[in-house]
């Protein structure tokens, strides 16, 4: 068995891998270093005791589908053939013959249970949720907590982008009053429209009210809470009715 092991960045730099607890990621590396030349580990519990890893760490690796477990207690690293290529004349075949017979290999190099192949052909989606439901409640809660934490990070990053675009748009407007009155939904709509189109929209309105007294110019809160739609390109807004045209003139 080879003494050196490699880990593919495409796997260990993925969000799915990095979102796991550090203890689960370290266990993955320890299993990888001690796997045989085909990725099988016949003493995972011994390795867990040696490294101080917990059952929850192993269960998270299984739930996230980085490890495939067998009833015998043996595990195999799912992406082993992506991580390591060992020449045939140097490879020592695994002694886990029974477990190896239960696996097949995808075109990508991933191991997959033969019994799962038919299910994947019929339903081409991840079975992570099915695996997760079979794990202890404590592990399900731990995985859910990490997923929720990362979802919140994604939401916060998106909201930051939305606020940045709105701030740039707001600075272009001619009567910047009522900023706090612009709703979150309106800001999201403005973000989806994009800065350049909103800039053109504001310029169009500014040209229309050029020379008007300030009291006849829409406050920013009014304009950005929906009235800007009247000044989008004609292809992007509903056909304007005569009543709306009249209302705008009277204002």
Residue in this structure with the two tokens 């009014």, named with its chain if needed: 222
pLDDT tens digits for range 155-173: 788 889 999 999 999 999 9
H-state helical runs in the chain: 9-12, 15-18, 22-34, 44-51, 55-63, 80-83, 97-100, 114-122, 128-133, 137-172, 184-193, 195-208, 220-224, 242-250
Query: Phi and psi of 75, rounded to 5°?
Result: -130, 160
C-alpha distance from residue 35 to each of 2, 89, 220 (Å): 10, 18, 63
Q: How far apart are CA 50 and CA 71, in angstroms?
A: 22
Instruction: Name the average pLDDT for the chain.
Output: 83
Choice among 20-29, 57-66, 233-242 with the minimum mean pLDDT: 233-242
Among 4-8, 9-13, 31-35, 246-250, whose mean pLDDT is lowest? 246-250
Domain residues of the chain, as ranges?
9-135, 143-250
DSSP string across 60-115: HHHHTTSEEE-TTS-EEETTHHHH----TTTPPPPS-HHHHTTEEE-TTS-EEEHH
Cβ-contact 94, 36 below 8 angstroms: yes
The model's pLDDT over 90-121, given as tens digits with 9 standing for 90+, comes to 888 999 999 999 999 888 889 999 887 765 55
The pLDDT value given to residue 38: 93
The rounded distance, in Å, linking the Cα atoms of 78 and 69 is 10
Is residue 110 within 8 Å of residue 139, measured between CB atoms? no
pTM of the predicted model as reported, rounded to 2 decimal places: 0.49
Taking the C-alpha atoms of residue 70 and residue 235, their distance in angstroms, rounded to an integer, is: 59
Q: Residue 18, class by beta-carbon neighbours within 10 Å (0-12 exposed, 13-18 middle, 19+ buried)?
A: exposed
């Amino acid at each position: 068995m080879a003494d050196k092991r490699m880990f593919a960045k495409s796997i260990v730099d993925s969000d799915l891998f990095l979102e796991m607890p550090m203890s689960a990621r370290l266990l993955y590396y320890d299993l990888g270093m001690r796997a045989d030349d085909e990725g099988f580990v016949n003493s995972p519990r011994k390795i867990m005791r040696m490294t101080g890893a917990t059952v929850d760490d192993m269960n998270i690796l299984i739930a996230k589908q980085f490890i495939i477990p067998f009833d015998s207690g043996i595990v195999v690293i799912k992406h082993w053939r992506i991580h390591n290529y060992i020449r045939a004349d140097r490879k020592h075949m695994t002694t886990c013959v029974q477990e190896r017979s239960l696996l097949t290999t995808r075109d990508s190099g991933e191991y997959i249970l033969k019994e799962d192949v038919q299910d994947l052909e019929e339903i081409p989606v991840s079975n992570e949720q099915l695996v997760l439901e079979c794990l202890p409640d404590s592990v399900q809660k731990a995985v859910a907590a990490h997923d929720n934490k990362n979802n919140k990070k994604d939401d916060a990053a998106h909201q930051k982008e939305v606020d940045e675009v709105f701030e740039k748009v707001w600075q272009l407007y001619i009567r910047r009053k009522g900023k706090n009155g612009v709703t979150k939904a309106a800001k999201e709509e403005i973000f989806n429209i994009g800065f350049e189109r909103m800039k053109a929209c504001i310029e169009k309105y500014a040209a229309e009210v050029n020379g008007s007294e300030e009291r006849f110019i829409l406050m920013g809160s009014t304009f950005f809470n929906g009235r800007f739609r009247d000044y989008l390109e004609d292809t992007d807004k509903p056909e304007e009715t005569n009543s709306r045209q009249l209302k705008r003139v009277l204002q």
